[in-house]
Every structure is written in C-alpha cells, then in structure tokens.
Amino acid sequence: MKILILGSGGREHAIAYKLSRSSLVSDLIVAPGNPGMKATLPGLRTKNISVTDLEGLLEFALSEKPDLTIVGPEASLSVGVVDLFQQNNLLIVGPTKAAGQLETSKAFAKKIMFAAGVPTADYSEFTNQQAALDFIIKSSQEKMVVKCDGLAAGKGVVVCQTKEEAKNAVSALMSEKLLGENVDHLIIEEFLEGTEVSAFALCDGEHFTFLGTACDHKRLRDGNLGPNTGGMGVFAPARCLENGDLEWMETHVFSPMLKAMKELGMPFSGILFAGLMKTHDGWKVLEFNVRLGDPETQVLLPLIEDDLIPWFKASAIGEIKKHQAECGQKNPTRKKENGVHVVMAASGYPGTEGVSVRLGDEISFDPTFVLSDSDFLFYAGVDAVENIFKTKGGRVLGITSLSDSAELARESAYHKISQIHFFGAQFRKDIGAKA
C-alpha cells in the first residue's frame, strides 16, 4: 500500500515509524514531513505542502493516489481535509469538519457530553463579556476555569485560583486580545482536581477500538511548574488506572459519544482522544481532541505490537466491528512494557514568557550515541543544512524508551537525552518519575 501521512512533528515521525514496519506498506509519504524522519526511515518520501493547503494536498493526493491517508494535526482536520478527500474518493482516517467540532468548539463538546450523559465539569457559556463577569462575581466558588471556545494551540485555557484571576482572564480573552484577536465565545467551567490521563480510541462512525492510555506533562518545568506547552513528555500506560477503569471509559465515554454523534448526523470517525481526570467524585472528561496526541503518540505507537494498517483501514471504511470479528481481537495487541518519552525543546519555548523561541542551533550527538531496539528518536522541529541538523521549532525532538520496568525505561530515555546537545536545550527531568 501507498500511505500518505499529513503533518511534520514528532507525532507524525512516530506514525511513519510504526507504519514503516508494516509488511503491507511499500511506499510512505509524509507531507510536509521533516528531514529527521527522512534521514531515519529509509525510503520515506516527504512533500513540502502545508497541512492546511487543501488545494495543494488534494492535487498531490490525486496525482499520487495513496491507498490510505492518515491525518496528524488538528489544523488539517479543522479546515475539512477529510470531507475533501472523501468527496474525491480518497480513503482517509479522521473526522469530518463537522464531527471535528468535538475539538474545535469546547461549547459543542460540552453540549454533546451533557446530552450523552458523559461525566464532565459543570459549565456556563458566554458570548458577552459583562455576562461572564457577572457570573464570576455571583459564583459560589473561588476557583474556576476559563476556556475560549475555538482552537487556541493550548493557550485558550486559563485555570484560575481566584475570582479576580477569572475576571482578568475573561477581560484578557474578550477585550485585550490575549490570543491575538478578541474571543467572542467562551465557557467558564467548574474547577476539578485529580490525576489526568489521555485515552485513545480509533473509531469508524459507530464502533471503536481502544489504542491505550498515556500521561502527558503539559507544563514546561519539573513539578508541573511553568507555562503550558504542547507537552514536554509522557509515560504510558497511565499508572493511576484501576481494574475496570478502561471498561468504564469504553461504556461511559466512548460508546455514548459515538452514539450521540451518530444520532446528530455527524458520525465520528478517526481518533477520539479523551483528556480525563480522576477526581474524588470519579472520572470526568476535561476535553476531547480528534487526533492522536503529541507527544502521546511517540510512546503509544511503539507500545502497540500489531500492524496498525488493517485497523486504520477499518476505521476509514467503517468496518472496525467486522475487522474485530475477523481477527478475533477487540483491540490491537499492546506490549506489556512501559514507555517513557522525553521532549527536548528549544531555548525560549513555548515563547510565552517574554522571550522568543531560539532557532537555527546545531544539534550534536555524543559519539557513543546508539539506539537499541527499545529506544526511539523522533524528530519534530528540525531542519537539515548540508547533513547537519539544526533546531527549527519549539519542540525539537524526543526520545522514547520501552522496558519491562518503568524505572529502566525512564533511565534509558534520560541517558539518550544526556547524549544529545544543542544550545539552550530544555527538557523536564521528572517525566515518568514515581509520584
């Protein structure tokens, strides 16, 4: 099969790595991809087209005729790449623009969760600043969470410890252009406390298969301090799960969401990624994303034993249930090992602390740097200039290590990280550490 992957980060490098191992795949193209994945996966081709350039992507796909396209980033989904490819009879894994509203609109996701009876924080919705401020003043709670409705690359959620902070957040978002433009739609949510878990299901509009769980570390610094980032590291599987939790998520989160979306006339296909919190009151969904997580994918996919191509294809053609019956498995087999992934980011990342992200630094490796079969180097924001890798993005690269022991996986990932160097590199030292 010829496979096209859309995206350019560590997530897409991990997808490309996983699919490159499939005996069904003969040709792998990533658009736009990055030079790191090209250097490490022999035969992989990259094509420099932006993930939101619908015309360019369609023209390329019609000329290459991939058997299956897999979408990495939400940006492609939110402009409707799935709708367009489907209209042109190109098989693609991912939700339509309408179904993708589960990620692109927090208010939409909340409405569906309430309609479907999926446990989530209470919330109110506002399109008027004064109404939001009045709500905060009258609230019986000091702590609350202000979230802008649309996509905001992780910058649209403000967790507020006091009413004063919440009022400031509303003003900053609605009239002081905190996100570049003023936001005209936001929600204010009940503050929840607990341990966060990301859970991933691959869906086909009606049925789903479970891909696994992971724990992301979104803050820049150790101990969950510093600004929010896209994710600085992850371990998998999540450790706070108890017997029955996965079954609970299937029955109380994924099944009712798929049923509700189908009833609405927006059947959900592709990856449904639930961000959940284990509170004293049970599990609650914080948010949905409609794609694989970055960096969760960098550990989730190496932990999957089976070839994912038949599962991805089953998702695209609405045959997950049929595939489950044929292969006699509910889910792709997952390795029993533990995985840890540590991200190395550029100096200044994420660029929200008054310094800009520094790019263009050479990346070097100790001469003794070697990867074993259970270590993986996934490139993200890198450029190649005459065979020398240079930093080109906030999150530059990451190392995943797998081991029977979570502690050994962690040691191995950090050993590899210590052998990679570039100016001002930032990484957390506590990914996968015992709580």
Closest to ligand AMP by CB, 166 vs 286, is 286
Q: How many residues bind ligand GLY (CB under 6 A)?
A: 6
What does 392 bind: ligand AMP, ligand GLY, none (CB cut-off 5 to 8 Å by kind)? none
DSSP one-letter string for 87-126: HTT--EES--TTTTHHHH-HHHHHHHHHHHT--B--EEEE
Element (H, E) at 147: strand 144-148
CB of 166 to ligand AMP, least distance (A): 12
CB of 163 to ligand AMP, least distance (A): 15
CB of 72 to ligand GLY, least distance (A): 10
4 and 61 in contact (C-beta within 8 Å)? yes
* Tokens 């995985």, located at residue: 339
339 and 402 in contact (C-beta within 8 Å)? yes
Give the range of 164-172, 291-299, 345-353, 405-413 binding ligand GLY by CB under 6 A.
Answer: 291-299
Give the range of 52-60, 81-89, 292-300, 312-320 binding ligand GLY by CB under 6 A.
Answer: 292-300
CA separation for the pair 344, 394 (Å, rounded): 9
CB of 69 to ligand AMP, least distance (A): 26
CB of 384 to ligand GLY, least distance (A): 25
Among 8, 101, 289, 338, binds ligand GLY (CB under 6 A): 289
CB of 360 to ligand AMP, least distance (A): 30
Element (H, E) at 366: none
What does 269 bind: ligand GLY, ligand AMP, none (CB cut-off 5 to 8 Å by kind)? none
Among 12, 83, 204, 296, binds ligand GLY (CB under 6 A): 296
Residue 336, C-beta contacts closer than 8 angstroms, at least 6 positions apart: 404
Closest to ligand AMP by CB, 114 vs 191, is 191
Closest to ligand AMP by CB, 284 vs 416, is 284
E-only strand ranges, 346-419: 364-365, 375-379, 382-385, 388-391, 395-403
CB of 151 to ligand AMP, least distance (A): 10
Give the range of 27-35, 165-173, 293-301, 322-330 binding ligand GLY by CB under 6 A.
Answer: 293-301
Judged by the rule CB under 6 A, the positions of this chain that interact with ligand AMP are 121, 145, 147, 157, 159, 189-192, 196, 218, 275, 286-287
CB of 185 to ligand GLY, least distance (A): 20
Query: Around Cβ 366, how many Cβ atoms within 10 Å?
Result: 11
Query: Can residue 375 be called a binding residue for ligand GLY (CB under 6 A)?
Result: no
Closest to ligand GLY by CB, 231 vs 381, is 231
Query: Can residue 204 be called a binding residue for ligand GLY (CB under 6 A)?
Result: no
Both tokens of residue 301?
Answer: 């996919």
Nearest in space to 335 (alpha carbons), one of 238, 404, 247? 404
Q: Give just the sign of the alpha carbon dihedral 210, 212, 213, 217.
A: negative
Give the range of 43-51, 243-251, 288-296, 376-384 binding ligand GLY by CB under 6 A.
Answer: 288-296
Query: Around Cβ 429, how many Cβ atoms within 10 Å?
Result: 12
Closest to ligand GLY by CB, 293 vs 394, is 293
Give the range of 1-9, 122-130, 289-297, 394-402 binding ligand GLY by CB under 6 A.
Answer: 289-297
DSSP one-letter string for 207-235: -EEEEEEEEE--EEETTTEEEE-S-SEEE
Query: Can residue 216 be called a binding residue for ligand GLY (CB under 6 A)?
Result: yes
Contacts of ligand GLY in 228-287 (CB under 6 A): 231
User: What residue is closest to ligand AMP based on CB?
Assistant: 287
Closest to ligand AMP by CB, 30 vs 116, is 116
Tell me the three state secondary structure of residue 139.
coil
Element (H, E) at 303: none
What does 83 bind: ligand AMP, ligand GLY, none (CB cut-off 5 to 8 Å by kind)? none
Closest to ligand GLY by CB, 95 vs 293, is 293
Among 293, 302, 393, 432, binds ligand GLY (CB under 6 A): 293
278 and 301 in contact (C-beta within 8 Å)? no
Helix 106-116 to helix 255-263 angle (10° resolution) is 100
List the beta bridge partners of residue 93.
70
Nearest in space to 239 (alpha carbons), one of 198, 273, 280? 198
What does 107 bind: ligand AMP, ligand GLY, none (CB cut-off 5 to 8 Å by kind)? none
Residue 201, C-beta contacts closer than 8 angstroms, at least 6 positions apart: 208, 209, 210, 211, 250, 254, 271, 272, 274
Which spans of this chain sit near ligand GLY (rule: CB under 6 A)? 216, 231, 289, 293-294, 296
